[in-house]
Chains A and B, each alone.
Chain A
Amino acid sequence: MRIVMAFCLLWMVPVLAWAENDAIALLERMTQAGKELNYQGVFAYQNGRTLQSIEIFHRNDAEGETERLMSLNGAAREVIRSNDMVTCINPEVKQISVSRRPLGRGFPSDLPRRVRSAAPFYDVVLGDEERIAGRITQELAIKPVDGYRYGYRLWVDKETDLLLKSELLAENGDVLETFAFSAIETNVDISDDDLKPQTSGEEMTWHQSEPGKPMASTDDRLISNWDASWLPDGFSLVASQNRLRATNGSYVEQRVYSDGLSSVSIFIERIKAQHNHLRGGSHMGAVNAFGTIIHSHFVTVVGEVPATTVEKIGAGIKFNLTGIP
C-alpha cells in the first residue's frame, strides 16, 4: 500500500507543481499587465454594506505610468498617480494632499517581482472560467496557510491578463471586500485630459508631504531605530522611507513588510506637541490598523491583514537605543 502511495505521489507532485507554477505565473503577469497596459473602465468597491462605483484611467507610455481614479457616487473624490507622486483630492472638505515617494528607495517596480516569494504561504489554485465585464476570465483561488493573512479570489482577463475582479476573504470564507469591473476597455488612447483632475484647485487647501533627506539605502538599517520583533512567517522588510509632512513639519517613517502578496506598513511619527493618537485597533473596510505610543512616537501598523496580525506586530515593535547615530 505504502509503495502504491509513494508511486502516486511521485506522479502527482509534478502535476501539482505545474498547476501552481501556472497560477503563480498568471499572478505575475496580472501584476505586470496592471502596470503596463492602457485601460479605462468603471469598477465597484463593496465592503460591508457600502458600495461605491469608481472610474479609472490608466496610461503607460514613455513618460511612465499615470492613473486617475474618481468616485462616481457622492462627493467626487479623486486620486491621481503620476510616477510615484500621489495626489488626493477631496472636494467635500476642500483638501488636496500630495505625497511623494522619497529618493533612492529601491526600484519602484520591485514589488511585483516578489509575488513568487508568496508561494510557500498560500495555496494557489486555478479555478473556472467566468465572464466578468463582458470578458472571459480565469479564476484564481488563493488560500493562506495560516490565520495571519487573508485569502483572495481573483478573476483575471484571459486576453489581457488584467485583474477584473478581486475578493478578499476572511478565514471563515466571508467576503470582506469586493472590487469588480462592470466595464473596461483596453487598447484605448488615454488623453492628457482624462488624467486631469475634474475638481479645480481653486479655494482648496493644499497639504504636501515631501521626501525626506535622501539617504543611501545601505544606511537604512543603521539609521532606523525601529524593528518589528514579531512578523508572520514569510514577511520581510521590502521598503522603508521617510516623508516630511508639511502640515506639521514632522518626519514620518514608513516601513513596509510583505510576504509577496499581503503587506503591512508600520508608520512611525515623532510626537511634536500634545496630540492624540489611535490607541488599540481600528479598521476601514478590510484594512486594519493598530496604534500605540512608544518612546514619544506615534507608531501605527496598517495593512490588509486580520486585526490580530496588526495587533501582534504592533505589540512587538521595538525601539532600539543603541543604533542612534
Chain B
Amino acid sequence: MSIDQELVKRVQAGDKKAFDVLIMKYQQRIIHVITGFVHDPVEAMDVAQEAFIKAYRALPGFRGDSAFYTWLYRIAINTSKNHLTASSRRPPMSDVDAMDATNYYDAPELKEFETPENSLMSMELEQAIQLSIDNLPEDTATAIKLREFEGMSYEEIAQAMDCPIGTVRSRIFRAREAIDKQVKAIMGEED
C-alpha cells in the first residue's frame, strides 16, 4: 500500500489529520496547476481551498485503486474551470482599460503568469538548492540526487549505493537539512 493509499484509508476511517497531510503534500502542486487557469495568486489560493474541500467531501466515493493525486488533479482542474465560468471573467483583467492593457502586454518581461518577484524567488530558491547540493559530501549528494532527480525509492537507492536502507534515510535527511538551512535563509527564517 502506498503512503497515499494509507492516508486516504485513514481519512475514510475518520482520521481528519491524515487529510491535513495530504493537503500539505500536494498543495504546492495543486496551486501550481490552478495558477495555469486562475492567474491572480489570491484567487488561485481560494480555488485551491475549494478544490481541497471538494476532495474531502468526495473522498468516500474515491476508489483507492487509482492514484490519489490524479484524482485530486482532476478536481482542481474542474474547480478552476468552474471558477472561470462562474466569475465569467475571461480574460480576468478585462476591467483594465485598453491603454493599460497595451502597456502591460508590450512589456515582454510581464508576459509571464509569474510575477517578476515570483520568478526571482523561484530562481533564488533553485540556485540555493543547487548550491547546497553541490556542497554536500559525496554520499549525501548522491542519495538526494537519486531520490529527487531519478525518483528512486529508498530501497532502490540502498541497492544502488550498496548500503542499508536506514543509511539512505539518514543521508537524505542530512541533505534535506542542509538544503533547508539555505532555504530558511532565503525565507528570512534564519535561526
Contact = CB atoms under 8 A, between A and B. Distances in A.
Direct contact of A and B (CB under 8 A): yes
A65 to B, nearest CB: 8
A101 to B, nearest CB: 7
| 8 pairs of A and B residues whose beta carbons are closest in the complex | A61-B67, A83-B151, A17-B105, A14-B101, A103-B145, A64-B151, A216-B134, A189-B66
Nearest to B78: A159
A217 B133 CA distance: 10
A84 B66 contact: no
A60 B141 contact: no
- Do most interface residues of chain B lie in helix, strand or loop, or is the interface mixed? helix
Interface stretch (B69-77, B165-173, B183-191): B69-77
A83 B113 CA distance: 28
Interface in A37-78: 37-38, 59-64
Given A187-B74, A216-B130, 5 more contacts: A21-B105, A32-B33, A38-B66, A61-B4, A187-B66
B33 A104 contact: no
A136 B161 CA distance: 49
B149 A108 contact: yes
B130 A218 contact: yes
A13 interface: yes
A294 interface: no
B149 A13 contact: no
A63 B153 CA distance: 8
Contact of B141 (A10, A25, A101, A214): A214
A312 interface: no
A36 interface: yes
A14 B107 CA distance: 12
Contact of A60 (B69, B112, B134): B69
A37 B70 contact: yes
Contact of B2 (A59, A62, A187): A62
Q: Classify chain A: how many residues form its interface, as a range.
A: 35 or more
A135 interface: no
A101 B152 CA distance: 12
23 contacts: A11-B98, A13-B105, A14-B105, A17-B101, A22-B91, A25-B37, A25-B113, A28-B36, A32-B36, A38-B67, A63-B151, A83-B151, A84-B149, A84-B150, A85-B150, A103-B146, A104-B133, A104-B145, A120-B108, A161-B77, A189-B65, A214-B141, A218-B130
Given A61-B67, A84-B150, A10 B33 contact: no
A38 B63 CA distance: 15
B117 interface: no
Nearest to B73: A36
A279 B3 CA distance: 53
A80 to B, nearest CB: 14
A10 B102 contact: yes
Interface of A: 10-11, 13-14, 17-18, 21-22, 25, 28-29, 32, 36-38, 59-64, 82-85, 100-101, 103-105, 107-108, 116, 119-120, 161, 187-189, 214, 216-218
A60 B91 contact: no
Given A10-B102, A101-B149, A18 B91 contact: yes
Interface in B52-86: 65-70, 73-74, 77
B13 interface: no
Most buried by B among A13, A32, A104: A104
B142 interface: yes
Nearest to A64: B151
Nearest to B100: A14
Contacts of A83: 150-152
Contacts of B151: 63-64, 82-84, 108
Contact of B69 (A11, A61, A105, A217): A61
Contacts of A28: 36
Contacts of A36: 33, 70, 73
A190 to B, nearest CB: 9
A60 B70 CA distance: 7
Contact of A13 (B74, B106, B150): B106
Interface in B91-150: 91, 98-99, 101-102, 105-106, 108, 111-113, 126, 130, 133-134, 141-142, 145-146, 149-150
Contacts of A21: 91, 105, 111
A103 B144 CA distance: 10
Nearest to B4: A62
Most buried by B among A61, A64, A116, A120: A61
Contacts of B2: 61-63
